Amino acid sequence: MGNYFIGVMSGTSVDAADAVVVDFDGDTPLRLLGSASLAWPEELRAELLSLGAGGDNELDRAGEADQRVARHFADVIASALQDAGMTSADIRAIGSHGQTVRHRPNARHPFTLQLGDPNTLAELTGMPVVADFRRRDMAAGGQGAPLVPAFHQALFADPARTVVALNLGGIANITVLRPGQDVLGYDTGPANMLLDGWCLRHQGHAYDGDGVWAASGVIDATLLAELLEHPYLLRSPPKSTGREEFGMAWLDALLASREQAVTAVDVQATLAEFTIRSVTREIERWSREGLVLVCGGGARNGHLMRGLAKALPDWQVCGSEARGLDPLWVEACAFAWLARQTVLGLAGNLPAVTGASGSRVLGGYYPARTGMRLP
């Protein structure tokens, strides 16, 4: 068996589950052999979003959703294997991030919760699964996120200049790679989460394709200033966030408190600028120039990409395909890499990023069958 791993994940936007088949042998850091994306059924997506916001009978609902997410992951993994022309016997392990429904790193007793039962996933796929990556870092005093910066460092670091890997998923996060210095990485605030929620409510679409609707509106300067006053944005890293702090309920409360209403299209325009401003001011904290490699669904939003380039005139802003990896598959590849780290007994976190007390081997290992040796 070679160094073939699968990564599967679904982000805070809860739009689809992504799976990749990755080869870690050879001269390059990785080779993407196959990929697939599978949209969530609307009813299950609504349930996952509802669980993320809290509600009645959460334990029973989360228990059932845990199984349904695992089955959905198994389906998208099967498609990625087919795309790669491979079988389960070829794969060393699956790295499954799961679907986050709660992330409370600053609670009195910090915790995080991802759904997608790895036991069920191992049974359905016939492959070993590495899962539950975040909680070991949190047990060591860390935020449990972001975990992708270690992968960004392995893949994108440049000895000659600063590189910022910018993930525009539901939440935006940056990894700052400066030659000769510790890696920095943290969530900067929302990316697509509020944009998608507002678009669905007012346009009936799951997302604003290419940012066309946002581009047709006018930025409301007062609303933008209020958005940028969110306390999370003022905290120093290490830090991570999610739907708990930047959900639609927060936006609705902010809009309801205003004396003058803002049209729906102008709210969308302002939310896009909020993403751009909250990201770019953090990037400029660490360097005046360099390369910004954008990944995640936001890399396909022309309006956001043009706004980032305009706001960062001394930086080269481009999608991660410039470094050989399609923006849509970077995060899934990261969890294939993290699974490999675990199988090899290597650390997957960066204490300087998460705030953990030290490096840790992340996740639990779930063998596929009786008699299979642990790594």
What pLDDT is recorded for position 371? Answer: 56
Full strand arrangement of the beta sheet holding 171-177: 184-190, 171-177, 163-168, 290-295, 315-319
What are the domain boundaries of the chain? Answer: 4-144+329-366, 149-328
How far is residue 301 CA from its own chain's centroid?
16
DSSP label at residue 338: H
**Per-position DSSP letters for 127-148, written without gaps between them:** S-EEE-HHHHHHHTTS-----T
Compute the Cα dihedral for 286, 288, 294, 299 and give only its sign. Answer: positive
The model carries a pTM of: 0.93
Show the 3-state SS of 343-364.
Answer: HCCCCCCCHHHHCCCCCCCCCE
What pLDDT is recorded for position 137? Answer: 97
pLDDT means per 10 residues, the chain with 375 residues, are: 90 92 85 97 94 86 97 98 97 97 93 97 97 97 95 96 97 97 96 96 95 98 97 95 91 92 97 98 97 97 98 98 95 97 96 96 90 55
Range 149-328: architecture per CATH: 2-Layer Sandwich (3.30)
Q: What single-letter amino acid sits at 241?
A: T
Element (H, E) at 332: helix 330-343
Name the superfamily (CATH) of residues 4-144+329-366. Answer: ATPase, nucleotide binding domain (3.30.420.40)
- Sole residue written with tokens 């590189």: 163
Say whether 55 sits in a helix, a strand or coil: coil
Residue 345's CB: how many other CB atoms inside 10 A?
Answer: 8
| Residue of 242, 298, 233, 175 lying closest to 12 (CA atoms) | 242
Q: Kindly report the CA angle at 244 between 241 and 249, in degrees rounded to 5?
A: 130
What pLDDT is recorded for position 54? Answer: 79
Q: Kindly report the CA angle at 321 between 213 and 362, in degrees rounded to 5?
A: 100
What pLDDT is recorded for position 25? Answer: 85
φ, ψ for residue 63, nearest 5 deg? -60, -40
Contact 297, 15 (CB under 8 A): yes
Contact 41, 58 (CB under 8 A): no
How far apart CA 272 and CA 41 sit, in angstroms, is 27
Domains 4-144+329-366 and 149-328 share a fold: yes
